Amino acid sequence: MMTRMELRRIERHARLKNTIAPVSKPFVPVALHVLVLSMIVFINDLDYKAKVSLFAFLSAMILWIATKIPAGFVAISLIIFIIMMNGAQEDLLYQSLSEEVVWLMVGSFIIGEAVKESGLANRITLLTLNKSRKKSKLLLGVCMVLFSTAIFIPSTSGRAALSMPILNQLSKKFTDKEKGVLALIAPIIILMSTSAVLIGAGSHLIGIGLLESTVNQSISYVEWFIWALPFTLVITFISYLIIKWLLWPKDSIDELEVFEEIIQPSNFQKEMTNKEKKTLTIITLLFIGWVTESIHGYDIAFIAMLGAVIVMIPKHGIISWKQGIKSVSWNLIIFVAAATALGRMLVETGVVQWIEDVMMNFINLFVCAPEWFLVFIILLVTVTSHLYITSHTTRAIVFIPVLLLFSETIGLNPTTVVFMGLIGMNYCVTVPVSSKALLLFYEEGEISYDANNLLKISVIMMPVYILIMMLFYFFYWQWMGLYL
């Protein structure tokens, strides 16, 4: 038994620990802020506004990575900080919401909600289920359905949430080990298929917005679709094969009983409802509008908002105004708007030019590097970026300006660098916190996966992802005009 003195020592240690813990948590970000501020003050080549902008941007990086403060709150607070410090006019705050990416994301969220509420997404899922009589075919069918949702639902977490009710139903006919595979394959396929279309992720829109504002180049919806779709199909199918090979039980009984509780007239009608027909027509017209952007001259953000307004027309639309507005992730919208404004300030105040001058000697080391090595470095940095920056959108905000600086300094094609960087950053399959879609299934009660299995898959998938991207660069993207 412990003596009274030992008990007192333990109690004293516990009290000391509880006292220090709350203080030590904010110590690291505060210390980093002091360090950053002390360094920026002594930079003679930057004027006052540039120093304020640089401090705000680096502060955002610290708070996004080292704290749990909401990303949107951090971004908007630092915009206000810049204005209050006379680093910019009030227009910086107001105009941040006028970015094309902001309205494209608003429209996409509303359209995605209409697709879900109309029953069209559920019909596609049930149709796949109705055609499956074996578990292996059902698993492949689920992957195909999840892949197709990338075309019209811009949020990976939204796609994950949409698929969860159906997957919960499917899991009733699966064993415990098979449920784990089902819970793992769904978010991974959702994440891998993100690259298929331009609106598949907000990071795509942010990256292209920075490309336009920095070097006045862009990537159209059609160009992205042509460049990215073949790669996405290949990497998604390879992901399916690797997961099944590694985790699917070898003694699994492949025969599947019919899901009478799901496939019944009340859930699956032969005739499409008016809402489904209307939604399908609108989606088709939107897709045509995005593809023919160069013909009619309206950008994809305007077309997306036009579609959003149509689906919310009172009495004749798919969803109500309230439903549409509630479907928008306003935290993400505010974050994207403010973060994009922070990045733009670095360009306008000359900070990017200053960084380019400072890094010139280091970057010049890559001027004579072989092409394959440059491709590998870009992919290695971007594919592994999810390990130290968990937010997909934050990765784009942090790395795209760096990639643009790198490309401009050594004379690379910035469009190619940004495109490959964005595709590389779409890989985030290592730990559950790397993606909301992964986290959603990891925390789900009915079906969930083992984090060790996710890590096991990533050990194989990460080098495969980089290898497939390099093969596509040399044997497809170069042929399509994407070259360094």
What DSSP string runs through 356-396? HHHHHHHHGGGTTS-HHHHHHHHHHHHHGGGGT---HHHHH
Q: Is residue 483 part of a domain?
A: no
Looking at the 3D structure of the chain, how many domains does it have? 2
Distance CA 334, CA 104 (A): 13
Q: Is residue 422 part of a domain?
A: yes
- Over residues 80-98, the mean pLDDT reads 86
Q: Is residue 299 part of a domain?
A: no
In this predicted structure, the answer to whether residue 23 has a pLDDT above a threshold of 70 is no
pLDDT score for 13: 47
Q: Are 446 and 191 in contact (CB under 8 A)?
A: no
Question: Do 177 and 254 have their domain in common?
Answer: yes
277-335: pLDDT as tens digits: 888 888 888 877 876 766 777 877 788 888 889 989 888 888 889 888 888 878 777 87
Q: Is residue 27 part of a domain?
A: no
Distance CA 201, CA 218 (A): 16
R_g of the chain, CA atoms, integer Å: 25
In this predicted structure, the answer to whether residue 20 has a pLDDT above a threshold of 50 is no
Q: Is residue 66 part of a domain?
A: yes
432-473: pLDDT as tens digits: 766 767 766 765 555 667 777 888 888 899 999 999 999 999
pLDDT score for 65: 67
Scanning the structure block, which residue is given the tokens 């490959």?
A: 420
Residue that terminates a domain, selected from 318, 349, 380 = 349
Question: Do 401 and 265 have their domain in common?
Answer: yes
Question: Do 54 and 141 have their domain in common?
Answer: no
Distance CA 29, CA 52 (A): 18
Distance CA 408, CA 10 (A): 59
Helix 300-311 to helix 274-291 angle (10° resolution) is 170
Q: Tell me the one-letter amino acid at 439.
A: L
Q: Is residue 337 part of a domain?
A: yes
Question: Do 425 and 439 have their domain in common?
Answer: yes
Question: For residue 170, what are the domain limits?
Answer: 120-272+350-477
Distance CA 22, CA 27 (A): 9
Distance CA 25, CA 464 (A): 38
Q: Are 340 and 44 in contact (CB under 8 A)?
A: no
pLDDT > 70: percent of the chain: 74
pLDDT score for 469: 92
In this predicted structure, the answer to whether residue 101 has a pLDDT above a threshold of 70 is no
241-263: pLDDT as tens digits: 888 888 777 655 555 554 444 44
Indicate the range of 198-202, 232-236, 267-271, 439-443 predicted with least confidence. 267-271
Q: Is residue 215 part of a domain?
A: yes
Question: Do 337 and 199 have their domain in common?
Answer: no
Question: Do 178 and 53 have their domain in common?
Answer: no
Question: Do 125 and 177 have their domain in common?
Answer: yes
Q: Is residue 308 part of a domain?
A: no
Distance CA 234, CA 221 (A): 20
Residue that terminates a domain, selected from 314, 349, 384 = 349
In this predicted structure, the answer to whether residue 21 has a pLDDT above a threshold of 70 is no
Question: Do 54 and 183 have their domain in common?
Answer: no
In this predicted structure, the answer to whether residue 1 has a pLDDT above a threshold of 50 is no
Question: Do 431 and 421 have their domain in common?
Answer: yes
Residue that terminates a domain, selected from 349, 379, 414 = 349
Question: Do 355 and 396 have their domain in common?
Answer: yes
pLDDT score for 18: 45
Helical residues (DSSP H) of 248-350, grouped into ranges: 274-291, 293-296, 300-311, 321-327, 330-348
Phi, psi of 414 (to 5 degrees): -65, -30
Question: Do 415 and 459 have their domain in common?
Answer: yes
Question: Do 244 and 212 have their domain in common?
Answer: yes
Indicate the range of 56-60, 339-343, 460-464 predicted with least confidence. 339-343
In this predicted structure, the answer to whether residue 55 has a pLDDT above a threshold of 80 is yes
